[in-house]
Amino acid sequence: MTEEQHPVQFRPIAQSAESTVVAEFVPEKSGVRDTAYQSEDALEKTLIEQLQAQAYEYLPLTSEEALVANLRAQLEKLNKIKFSDAEWKRFFETCISSANDGIIEKTARIQEDHVQVLKRDDGTSKNVYLLDKTNIHNNSLQVINQYEIANADAARPRSNRYDVTILVNGLPMVHIELKRRGVDLREAFNQINRYQRDSFWAGSGLFQYVQLFVISNGTLTKYYSNTVREGHLAEQRAKRSRQKTSNSYAFTSWWADAKNRPITSLAGFTKTFFAKHTLLNILTRYCVFDVDRKLLVMRPYQIVAAEQILLRIETSTNYDQLGTISAGGYVWHTTGSGKTLTSFKTAQLARDLPGIDKVLFVVDRKDLDYQTMREYERFEKGAANSNTSTSVLQKQLADPDAKIIVTTIQKLSRFVATNRKHPIYDAHVVVIFDECHRSQFGDMHAEITKTFKHYHLFGFTGTPIFADNSGSGGNPLRRTTAQAFGDQLHTYTIVDAINDKNVLPFRIDYINTIKTSSAIKDKKVSAIDTERALLAPERIAGVVEYIREHFDQKTRRSVSYRHDGKRMAGFNSILATASIDAAKRYYAEFKRQQSSLPSAQRLKIGLIYSYAANEDDEDGLLGEEEFETSDLDKSSRDFLEDAIKDYNALFNTSFDTSADKFQNYYKDLSLRLKSRQVDIAIVVNMFLTGFDATTLNTLWVDKSLRAHGLIQAYSRTNRILNSVKTYGNIVSFRDLEQETNDALALFGNKDAKGIVLLRPFAEYYAEYEAAVARLQDEFPIGHRIIGEKAQKAFIRLFGSILRLRNILVAFDDFAGKEILTPREYQDYLSIYLDLYAEFRSASEADKEAINDDVVFEIELVKQVEINVDYILMLVEKYINARGGTEDKEILATIDRAIDSSPSLRNKKDLIERFVDSVSAGSDVDVQWRAFLAARKDEELAQLITEEGLKGDETREFVENAFRDGVLPVTGIGVTKIMPPVSRFVKGGGHSIRKQGVIEKLTAFFDRYQGLV
């Protein structure tokens, strides 16, 4: 047959709108260097010109009358109708500008109820769209500037003029506040607050429809939602009552490209964020108005991940790849970056795709199931259908109205095992795995993927498994995340998140608690009961004493703030222990040391552990604790029962270790951790993964952590809460510095480690050859491995060979290229397993204890960040050593530490004066605070006198600056504290004098900021 008889038919692989986030942003280079000063007016003019070039219609309107008239015209245009005057008056007063509606009602109207009903003059009804969310380019975009509105406060009758506002179908939906270059961006943030206080609500209140705010000084640009503004208002109200609350400015976001490179300049931001399809997609698709009536606007990396998954669903469907690895992929978004919101919005959008029957959100543990369900319910009531049993799951899978189902992989696996035939297996389903680095690599994963026929499989993880950190167990074809889930669709690492200030950085203290003496250096490792030494009563007591002594300092108990409507002091913590035995010993020691204290002075301790089906994996995964307390040995269960009784007495509850009540105990402890009612939760593995508590800032670590487990555990501490919580505290009683560095390198570098699996076979094989050659040379079979150092070297070397071999067996090229014979491999494996058993069982064997040969001490050996706390610790040492041979050495250490710290150099004279004045026999921290307060008051009084400033007003101005974390140098704040100076003095006397005052105030602020 000819081509004319049967012409070639081209089927589109995917049809979608343009990507919301630009793939890669390259700033335009004009070739001309901008050197001239740019005023705020000039910046505003340039912005408007750029928006016009991007097809925004400019409107020269500045009054409410003109704004309302334009709104009517735009809604008529969108809906292809003509309002009569009576219809418009009715519609405007009831569906747009009702006197009873506030910001929440108007936000709900845009996000949830954008189709309003018009009662026509003839009695009929017609749907009127405020937004067209289906065909976004049907919406009109206009820009106005210098909109003028009367101040709603009679005491301040002067009108306000707003910088730039974007109108969508005539409604103000995006407001842009500009400051000139060099001005602190937070001043624009605060300006919006002043507008809200004075006039956003004035007149018909149309500016209550603003969904997004953009702040820029030309150089830096950020965006945020209207509820971030609301949070700031609540913060300001609380501050007026002298209480600290959440720092709402911290919840503003940078815009970026798909490679997570921030687009900070206003020109770049406008070109990308204000591209028509981008802005309209954000407003119509990538906002979530949750059940708490908060508007959550997704960040660029979240949008990219969601769109990549939706695109993969569409392309793989059209390519007939359902049920294969090519139909899915995984998203690497670091812990704490908002994976639940991303997965929810993805599930919600996937649910609405044509042809999709079900979206299954699969978690790996019951506590994650509980928490994820709560999160999903927060985003949309009834959006997710959780299930407590496989029978409930079976009904939901058969229910066409249950579109999104949250379940655990264990329940799903049991369902598959007991229902070999079910219509769901032939349905078109999207399966999303939360934390896909866990047991989805096992048999359950294989069973599920074999049973379902038409599926897309997607995974979210903050800590993927690559080739060089994969374990040795299970199917060699599913050891890495990419092997199990397919392509990496998007990456957002912990480095990205910290740079964007979406999570907090870590501060790590390494506390040395055990030091072996020279007397035991030559003893066989089999005789060295390391774990027994770590559990020795002297060491446990020392660690508990250290925690109790430093608890208030680490958890900032001297600072108060408001959270969830309650006043709180400081934060709380988790103590991660190596075993149930260790957890019991720590709980008992806390109880012993606090027994003589009044109840009000005791730390509130919660203990939780359960049976661990799997011990910690060699690749760093934490062993999973189930809720089956019946599997605990009698001693451990009895101890836990008594600890829960203590908890019941403390909080007037009635939990125990029975199945249902223990799960309720877990949930109650979880809630009390989140509300900061518990000071320390002592755990083995529970709460170290999948648990978020913004009030938690400290992790006390007395267990070996590495790779996944280390990042997961550390990340319990770094959720943003307020201006007080500036980092997550890690206090490690074991030397985990190398493990920490390795984990951060692995999960912080999205390029080097993310492509390891893609290296060719020859590179892996070359490493394997070199490692085996070293093994045969250094540890020949038949020669005994003597001494701890040699045994540990063998364990490390053979472990690397196991990991390499377990990757190589997935390559066809490896067949027939084994270097070790089966017998040699068997012999080396036997040696390896013997040493493993020897290390694990030493405490149970009848061997020589080393407790008498170990020197126990609590000593700060390293602190990653040099700060005032570290300096004060050195000062305390100096006091104790004063007059001795060590005092000069300590002073030199203090001097070097200050000189090496950019944040402490301008405070050097303060610290030196304090060192000269500090006295023994009194708390150093108390002396420091008193010294600092006196010096601060003295220097401020001197500044006031020298500049002739108004005393009370200046002190209030400075106090507010320290409270807000920024010194406002623009506006009238500085002018109000200055004495009268004529603005018309020859030579610009007022401006020169003001600039001099600003410079001195700035130097004073920088000197004491971070110390007060």
The residue with greater pLDDT, 655 or 414, is: 655
Over 70: is that where the pLDDT of 649 sits? yes
Over 50: is that where the pLDDT of 519 sits? no
Record the tokens describing residue 976, joined without a space: 């109000």
Position 306 scores a pLDDT of 95
H or E segment to which residue 433 belongs:
strand 428-433
Position 5 scores a pLDDT of 42
241-252 per-position pLDDT tens digit: 333 333 467 778
Over 70: is that where the pLDDT of 493 sits? yes
Average pLDDT over residues 761-780: 88
Distances (CA, A) of 101 to 64, 74, 191, 233: 18, 22, 24, 18
Which of 25-34, 615-624, 819-828 reaches the highest mean pLDDT? 819-828
DSSP structural state of residue 810: T
Could you tell me which CATH class the domain 300-498 is placed in? alpha beta
Record the tokens describing residue 248, joined without a space: 């709402």
Position 395 scores a pLDDT of 85
d(CA 994, CA 1003): 14
Q: Which of 316-330, 576-590, 625-639, 955-969 has the lowest mean pLDDT?
A: 955-969
User: Which residue, 731, 671, 721, 710, is CA-closest to 571?
Assistant: 721
Position 140 scores a pLDDT of 95
Over 90: is that where the pLDDT of 582 sits? yes
Position 645 scores a pLDDT of 96
Q: What's at 588, amino acid-wise?
A: A
Percent of the chain with pLDDT over 90: 30
Position 965 scores a pLDDT of 66
Model confidence band, residue 368 (pLDDT cutoffs 50, 70, 90): low
Read off φ and ψ for residue 317, nearest 5 degrees. -65, -45
d(CA 362, CA 368): 10
Q: In terms of pTM, does the model score above 0.75? A: no
Model confidence band, residue 851 (pLDDT cutoffs 50, 70, 90): very low
119-166 per-position pLDDT tens digit: 999 989 999 999 999 999 999 999 999 888 765 444 445 567 788 999
DSSP structural state of residue 622: P
Report the mean per-residue pLDDT for the chain.
Answer: 79
Which of 270-284, 325-339, 482-496 reaches the highest mean pLDDT? 270-284
Model confidence band, residue 995 (pLDDT cutoffs 50, 70, 90): confident
Position 187 scores a pLDDT of 77
Query: SS3 of 207, please?
Result: helix
Model confidence band, residue 750 (pLDDT cutoffs 50, 70, 90): very low
Burial of 892 (0-12, 13-18, 19+ CB in 10 A): exposed
Average pLDDT over residues 374-401: 74
- For residue 381, the number of C-alpha atoms closer than 13 Å in the C-beta half-sphere is 4
Which of 66-80, 157-171, 187-201 reaches the highest mean pLDDT? 66-80
Per DSSP, helices labelled H in 84-133 are: 85-91, 103-111
- Contact yes or no for 485/328 (Cβ under 8 A): yes
Query: SS3 of 561, please?
Result: strand
791-831 per-position pLDDT tens digit: 778 877 877 787 677 556 545 567 788 888 876 876 776 67
User: Which residue, 985, 962, 990, is CA-closest to 974?
Assistant: 990
681-734 per-position pLDDT tens digit: 999 988 988 788 899 999 999 999 988 888 889 989 988 887 667 778 888 999
The residue with greater pLDDT, 218 or 909, is: 218
Average pLDDT over residues 774-803: 81
Q: Which of 85-99, 355-369, 776-790, 954-968 has the lowest mean pLDDT?
A: 355-369
Over 80: is that where the pLDDT of 550 sits? yes
Record the tokens describing residue 801, joined without a space: 């060979």
Q: Which long-range contacts (CB under 8 A, 24 or more apart) does 307-310 make?
A: 307/16, 307/19, 307/20, 307/21, 308/489, 308/490, 309/346, 309/350, 309/458, 309/489, 310/16, 310/346, 310/349, 310/350, 310/353
Residues 6+ apart with CB under 8 A from 917: 931
Q: Which of 311-320, 376-385, 501-510, 927-936 has the lowest mean pLDDT?
A: 376-385
Cα 491 to the center of its chain, rounded Å: 14
Average pLDDT over residues 777-787: 84
Residues in the chain: 1012
User: Which residue, 661, 655, 615, 657, is CA-closest to 634?
Assistant: 657
**What does the H/E/C string look like for 826-884?**
HHHHHHHHHHHHHHHHCCCCCCCCCHHHEEEEEEEEEECCCCHHHHHHHHHHHHHHCCC
887-915 per-position pLDDT tens digit: 777 787 777 566 545 466 677 788 888 88
Over 60: is that where the pLDDT of 354 sits? yes
Distances (CA, A) of 738 to 513, 706, 717: 17, 9, 20
Over 80: is that where the pLDDT of 76 sits? yes
User: What is the residue-wise DSSP string for 138-188?
Assistant: GS-EEEEEEEEE--S-TTS---EEEEEEEEETTEEEEEEEE--TTS-HHHH
d(CA 545, CA 615): 29
Which of 301-310, 467-476, 835-844, 952-961 reaches the highest mean pLDDT? 301-310
Over 90: is that where the pLDDT of 169 sits? yes
Position 757 scores a pLDDT of 26
Position 759 scores a pLDDT of 55
User: Which residue, 349, 215, 172, 377, is CA-closest to 291?
Assistant: 377
Record the tokens describing residue 150, joined without a space: 């009367």
Position 232 scores a pLDDT of 46
Residues 6+ apart with CB under 8 A from 645: none
Query: SS3 of 515, please?
Result: strand
Q: 506-594+609-623+665-748: which CATH number, 3.40.50.300, 3.40.630.10, 1.20.1260.10, 3.40.50.150?
A: 3.40.50.300
Position 162 scores a pLDDT of 84
Position 786 scores a pLDDT of 80
Over 50: is that where the pLDDT of 336 sits? yes
d(CA 213, CA 364): 38
Q: Which of 69-83, 474-488, 832-846, 911-925 has the lowest mean pLDDT?
A: 832-846
d(CA 629, CA 609): 9
Query: SS3 of 111, please?
Result: helix
Q: Tell me the Cα Rg of the chain.
A: 32
Could you tell me which CATH number the domain at 40-62+137-297 has? 3.90.1570.50
Record the tokens describing residue 125, joined without a space: 């009804």
Over 70: is that where the pLDDT of 349 sits? yes
How many Cβ atoms from other residues are within 10 Å of residue 944's Cβ?
A: 18
Average pLDDT over residues 386-408: 81
How many Cβ atoms from other residues are within 10 Å of residue 930's Cβ?
A: 11
Model confidence band, residue 365 (pLDDT cutoffs 50, 70, 90): low
